Structure 1
Amino acid sequence: MARLVLCALALLVAGGLADPVRNNVPQKPADPVFAKRQMDLMTLFFHVLEPNYIEANKVIVNTWSLEKNIEHFSNVTAVTTYIKMLENQCCVPRAVPFSILEDEHKFEVVTLFNVLHSAKDYDTFYKTAVYVRDRVNPDLFSYVLSAVIVNRPDTKGIYIPRVFEIFPSYFNNGEIMTTAARINTHGDRLVDFYPSTYKWDKNVVIRWNPHLALLQQPEHTYSLLHSRLQPQLILLQRSLSLPGWLQTEALPVNQHRRGEWFWFLHKQLIARYYMERLSNGLGEIPELGHETVKDGTTRSFGTTMEFSSPVRPNNFNLDQPEFVNEVEQIYDYERRVRDAIDQGYVLNHLGERIDISAPEAIEILGRVIEANVDSPNVQYYKDFISVWKKVLGNSLVHEHQYFHHYIPLVVPSVLEHYQTALRDPAFYMIWKRVLGLFQQWQEKLPHYKPEELAMPQVAIEKVDVDKLVTYFEYSYMNVTSGLPMNVEEAKELYDQVSVLVQHPRLNHKKFQVRVNVKTEVAKTVLVKFFLAPKYDSHGHEIPLHVNSYNFMQLDEFVYDLPQGESVITRDSVETTGNEWTTSYQVWDQAEKASREKHLSAKNMYFQDVLIYHKHTLNPCSHVE
Structure 2
Amino acid sequence: MTNTDLKALELLFQRPLEPAFTTRDSGKTVLELPDSFYTDRYRNDTEEVGNRFSKDVDLKIPIQELSNVPSLEFTKKIGLKNQFSLFNNRHREIASELITLFMSAPNLRQFVSLSVYTKDRVNPVLFQYAYAVAVAHRPDTREVPITNISQIFPSNFVEPSAFRDARQEASVIGESGARVHVDIPQNYTASDREDEQRLAYFREDIGVNSHHWHWHLVYPTTGPTEVVNKDRRGELFYYMHHQILARYNVERFCNNLKKVQPLNNLRVEVPEGYFPKILSSTNNRTYPARETNQKLRDVDRHDGRVEISDVERWRDRVLAAIDQGYVEDVSWARLES
Q: Give the alignment's TM-score, normalised by structure 1.
A: 0.44
Pairing of 1:94-105 with structure 2 (within 5 A): 94-105=80-91
1:148 corresponds, among 121, 129, 134, to 134
**Equivalent residue, structure 2, for 1:351:** 332
**Cα 1:84/1:203, change in 2 over 3 Å:** farther
Paired residue type of 2:289:
V
Whether 2:16 is the aligned partner of 1:39: answer no
Question: One-letter code of the match for 2:220?
Answer: P
Decide which moves more: 207-216 or 260-269: 207-216
After TM superposition, give the deviation of residue 161 of structure 1 in Å.
Answer: 1.1
Letter in 2 for 1:40: A
> For structure 2, which runs of at least 5 residues remain unmatched after alignment?
23-29, 39-62
Tell me, what secondary structure is at the counterpart of 1:317? Answer: coil
2:160 aligns with 174
Cα separation, 2, equivalents of 1:95 and 1:203:
38
Distance 2:241 2:208 in 1: 10
Question: 2: CA distance between counterparts of 1:155 and 1:165?
Answer: 20
Task: Work out whether residues 93 and 222 of structure 2, in 8 Å CA contact, stay in contact via their aligned partners in 1.
Answer: no
2:287 aligned residue (292, 300, 309): 309
Matches of residues 295-334 of structure 1 in structure 2 within 5 Å? 295-304=272-281, 305-318=283-296, 326-334=307-315
* Bigger Cα displacement from structure 2, 38-47 vs 172-181: 172-181
Is 2:238 aligned against 1:239? no
Correspondences of 1:475-490 after superposition (within 5 Å): none
1:120-131 equivalence runs, <5 A: 120-131=106-117
Alpha-carbon separation, structure 2, partners of 1:120 and 1:325? 39
Label 1:243 to 1:325 Cα distance change in 2 as closer, same or farther (>3 A): closer
Identity of aligned residues (%): 25
Maintained 8 Å contact 1:214/1:301: no
The structure that has the greater radius of gyration is: 1
* Matching residue of 1:341: 322
Q: For residues 204 and 40 of structure 1, do their structure 2 counterparts lie closer, same or farther at Cα, with a shift above 3 Å needed?
A: farther
One of 241, 262, 271 as aligned partner of 1:294 = 271
Deviations 1:3-23 (A, max 9, x none): xxxxxxxxxxxxxxxxxxxxx
**Aligned amino acid, residue 19 of structure 2:** P
Judged with a 3 Å threshold, the aligned counterparts in structure 2 of structure 1 residues 157 and 281 are, in CA distance, closer, same or farther, namely farther
CA distance in 1, matches of 2:86, 2:306: 21
Alignment of 1:434-513 (within 5 A): none
Correspondence for 1:69? 68
SS at match of 1:269: helix
CA deviations over 1:492-525 (Å, ceiling 9, x no partner): xxxxxxxxxxxxxxxxxxxxxxxxxxxxxxxxxx
Aligned CA distance change for structure 1 residues 150 and 283 (closer, same or farther; 3 Å): same
Which structure: greater helix fraction?
A: 2
Q: Aligned to 2:247, which of 272, 278, 282?
A: 272
Aligned CA distance change for structure 1 residues 247 and 171 (closer, same or farther; 3 Å): same
Write the deviation string for residues 515-540 of structure 1: whole angstroms up to 9, x where unpaired: xxxxxxxxxxxxxxxxxxxxxxxxxx
What does 1:453-602 correspond to in 2, within 5 Å? none
C-alpha change, 1:40 and 1:60, in structure 2 (3 Å) is farther
Rounded Cα–Cα distance in structure 2 between residues aligned with 1:151 and 1:56: 26
Q: What is the distance in 2 between the residues matched to 1:348 and 1:329?
A: 18
- The secondary structure found in structure 2 opposite 1:222 is helix
Aligned residue number for residue 184 of structure 2:
209
In structure 1, distance between residues paired with 2:73 and 2:156: 32
Shift of 1:216: 4.4
Tell me if 1:250 matches 2:227. Answer: yes
- Answering whether residue 192 of structure 2 is matched by residue 224 of structure 1, we say no
Distance 2:91 2:293 in 1: 31
Partner Cα separation in structure 1 for residue 201 and residue 295 of structure 2: 26
User: Aligned residue for 2:51?
Assistant: none
Amino acid at match of 1:311: A
Distance 1:43 1:60, change over 3 A: farther
Equivalent residue letter for 1:246: G
More displaced 10-residue stretch of structure 1: 173-182 or 264-273: 173-182
Question: For each residue in 1:410-432, what CA deviation from the matched residue of structure 2 results, as whole angstroms up to 9, or x when unmatched?
Answer: xxxxxxxxxxxxxxxxxxxxxxx
> What's the secondary structure of 1:346's corresponding residue?
strand
Task: Name the residue aligned to 1:22.
Answer: none
Distance 1:349 1:104, change over 3 A: closer
**Distance between the aligned counterparts of 1:148 and 1:212, measured in 2?**
38
Aligned partner (choices 228, 237, 241) of residue 262 of structure 1: 237
Code of the aligned partner of 1:314? T
Structure 1 range deviating more: 41-50 or 230-239:
230-239
Q: Does residue 85 of the first structure (1) align with residue 63 of the second (2)?
A: no
**Cα gap change, 1:50 to 1:206, in 2 (>3 Å):** farther
Give me the whole-angstrom Cα distance separating, in 2, the residues matched to 1:61 and 1:205. Answer: 42
Q: CA deviation at 1:292?
A: 1.9
Q: Does structure 1 conserve the Cα–Cα contact (< 8 Å) formed by 2:192 and 2:198? A: no
Query: Structure 1 residue 242: deviation in Å?
Result: 0.8
2:25 maps to none
Q: 1:56 aligns with which of 20, 32, 51?
A: 32
CA distance in 2, matches of 1:283, 1:296: 18
Is the 8 Å Cα contact of residues 108 and 140 (structure 2) preserved in structure 1? yes
Q: Aligned to 2:251, what secondary structure does the other structure show? A: helix
Residue 135 (1) aligns with residue 121 (2): yes
Tell me the alpha carbon deviations over residues 36-89 of structure 1, each in whole angstroms, 9 at most, x when there is no partner.
3442112111111111222513656249776x526xxxxxxxx5xx44436xxx
Greater relative contact order structure (CA < 8 Å, 6+ sep): 1
What runs of 5+ residues in structure 1 fail to find an aligned partner? 1-32, 71-78, 192-198, 356-360, 362-624
Q: Measure how far apart 1:277 and its partner are.
A: 0.8
In terms of fraction of residues, the more strand-rich structure is 1
CA gap of 1:39–1:300, structure 2 versus 1, over 3 A, is same
